Amino acid sequence: MLDASSAHSAPEMSVRFLLDADTSPGLLSRLLQPYAKRDLTPDRMWSHRSGDTMHVEIAMEAMPREMVHLVEGNLQQVVGVRSVVRVERTVLRQVA
């Protein structure tokens, strides 16, 4: 059984970034660049246009903990991004 301190130090975590951004033809590819340059592949990406706003979710079930703040910072710097919300949980792996 993992206690709170060992769960916090887990090397990977499940992370979803929820973004609102200006509608732009190159937006989605720009949002994937922070992942690609770190050799990460998101498990899920979803987008929906509502008028002049794109709502985007990018999720990884097991992102290296040390990459989370780096990717989040890069996403916040993408031209046209209005807001970034991070939703996370620690990945607890069971041993068979």
pLDDT of residue 82: 98
Cα distance between residue 23 and residue 5, in whole Å: 41
Task: Using the predicted structure, report yes or no on whether residue 1 has a pLDDT greater than 50.
Answer: no
Q: Which one has a higher pLDDT value, 10 or 16?
A: 16
Residue 3's pLDDT band (boundaries 50, 70, 90)?
Answer: very low
Q: Please report which residue ranges of the chain form alpha helices under DSSP H.
A: 4-8, 27-36, 65-77
* CATH number, domain 13-90: 3.30.70.260
Task: Using the predicted structure, report yes or no on whether residue 5 has a pLDDT greater than 60.
Answer: no
pLDDT tens-digit series, residues 18-75:
999 999 999 999 999 999 999 999 999 999 999 999 999 999 999 999 999 999 999 9
Task: Using the predicted structure, report yes or no on whether residue 8 has a pLDDT greater than 90.
Answer: no
Domain map of the chain by residue range? Answer: 13-90
CA torsion angle 80 78 54 16 (round to 10): -150
